[in-house]
Structure 1
Amino acid sequence: MRLGSIERIWRYPIKSMGGERLESADVDERGLMGDRLYAVRDAEGRFGSGKNTRRFRKMPGLLRLSSRYPEAERLAEPELLDPDGVPVADAAAYLRHYLRRHDVEVAREGAVSHFDQLPLSVLSTATLDWMRTALAGIPVDERRFRPNLLIRTPPGTPTFVEDQWLGSEVRIGTTVRVTFVRSSERCLMVNESQQGLPHSPLVLKTIARTHAMRLDALGTVTAPGTIDVGDPVVVIRP
């Protein structure tokens, strides 16, 4: 059964920042290669995020920044872009001034994972279109929900169709296989402002009211390969 096709691919080189839109991506057991491979780390070893936990430290404003990998240097330390999309010369110096913290740096993932949950997040256009309708007047696109893949689903596909995908294994393109395990529990990050998207507390309130704080399908990669925009997503094991 065909679920749809890849509409857009997103990779986030530095955790909790805006990402880069790709036409093609290599995928391994960790997810999209280079996704959230770097993070802003403080002196206690905690990673910059939208919340405080044992691993993460809340650092407001990170989402207004973005990052990308230099085209000529595959998975080299990513470029940091300011809120206007302009690359900064010294990422650590910029972040220390921007965050008003003197103990932060951009660090590559080590023994502690940068992922909040599972490595691959997938969102359907059916769910995204519903969110746009429910939040009429508030700019909404998939960047609020930070998926790796936006899947174009057929007309008439129900909202929150991702729930029906959980437990199934799909093939994306010709080689990549993903098993959907659970959905993400959303936090205040979906409300935060970023380029072209203003702050709005109604985003999380809507998800909480209609779908128990959950939105997307999270998966593990069971077979690696390369994916491209337009690739079909087909169920191979319900």
Structure 2
Amino acid sequence: MGGTPGRTLGTIERIWRYPLKSTGGELLDEAAVDARGLVGDRLYAVRDAEGKFGSGKNTRRFRRMPGLLRLRSRYPGGAVGRPPELLDPDGEPVADATAYVRRYLGRDDVEVAREGAVSHFDQLPVSVLTTATLDWVRAAVPGVPVDERRFRPNLLVRTPPGTPAFVEDEWFGDTARIGDTLRLRFERASERCLMTNEAQQDLPHSPRILRALAQAHDMRLDALATVAQPGRVRLGDTLELR
């Protein structure tokens, strides 16, 4: 790759990390990224007695647990070495995360657990979404509040005016540089599920969002990436295809 100039796709506008899978996340000014993804991202999950993780869908690894999105999680002081703090729907930290989710979900067979041998990620480590695609979603569902939290990306990229929606599709198979050392290889888009429609904090439930994606883009949205070279990402960094 060397110093060969690349094609600038946009700049990093927001950085999101989700310490506890399927809850609302935390906004960061910068983040370390290793082979697993953003350090600390989805490192914890709500796990049931069968070893399935709380999610917006039922699969071999995941168990649908409605309501988790109304909660948020964060690492106090950004210290990933400690378990994350869980915030209730009013934004107040809870004293005991496992005890709280048991009461909240009405289940005594769940616990907040750190990732072990089974990955907490739905698909690939890093999700990147553009403002061009996000603006398309807003236009497709007028009257429905929409921001990137609906789609839970790690990176929101501000794209230039005139950039087409779903431009992320053009990146698949390419490697991008972010900052001095970070390299992401774009592989494919996320396949969206009912979680996209669910209420969270100040965003109400709406089935129109997933319906619009199904009609226009086969329920796919964003660019999923693997980490080709670890590094750091900071707000304002450019995203360049190499």
Q: Which TM-score band applies after superposition, normalised by the shorter structure?
A: over 0.9
Distance of 2:169 and 2:46 partners within structure 1: 32
Contact kept in structure 1, 2:179 and 2:238, CA below 8 Å: yes
> What's 1:202 paired with?
208
Shift, 1:74, TM fit: 3.0
Q: Which residue of 3, 15, 18 maps to 1:12?
A: 18
2:77 pairs with 1:35: no
2:196 pairs with 1:186: no
Deviates more, 1:65-74 or 1:140-149: 65-74
Q: Summarize the Cα distance change of 1:216–1:98 in structure 2 as closer, same or farther, 3 Å threshold.
A: same
Contact kept in structure 1, 2:21 and 2:43, CA below 8 Å: yes
Q: Which residue of 210, 220, 223 maps to 2:226?
A: 220
Distance of 2:12 and 2:80 partners within structure 1: 23
2:138 pairs with 1:132: yes
SS of the residue 1:216 aligns to: strand
Q: Which residue of 146, 161, 178 maps to 2:152?
A: 146
Deviates more, 1:63-72 or 1:4-13: 63-72
AA aligned opposite 1:189? M
AA aligned opposite 1:83? P
> What's 2:238 paired with?
232
Distance of 2:10 and 2:145 partners within structure 1: 25
TM-score by length of 1: 0.98
CA offsets, 1:102-161, max 9 Å, x none? 011110000000001000000000000111111111000000000000000011000100
Contact kept in structure 1, 2:131 and 2:159, CA below 8 Å: yes
CA offsets, 1:11-33, max 9 Å, x none? 00000010000000000011100
TM-score by length of 2: 0.96
2:98 pairs with 1:92: yes
2:124 pairs with 1:121: no
Distance of 2:232 and 2:81 partners within structure 1: 16
Matches within 5 A, 1:37-186: 37-71=43-77, 73-186=79-192
Shift, 1:221, TM fit: 0.4
Q: Summarize the Cα distance change of 1:129–1:75 in structure 2 as closer, same or farther, 3 Å threshold.
A: farther
Distance of 1:172 and 1:155 partners within structure 2: 21
Aligned residues: CA RMSD: 0.8
Distance of 1:189 and 1:133 partners within structure 2: 20
Where structure 2 has 5 or more consecutive residues not aligned to the other structure, the ranges are 1-6
Q: Summarize the Cα distance change of 1:26–1:72 in structure 2 as closer, same or farther, 3 Å threshold.
A: closer
Shift, 1:72, TM fit: 6.3
Over the matched positions of the two proteins, sequence identity in percent amounts to 70
Distance of 1:115 and 1:155 partners within structure 2: 32
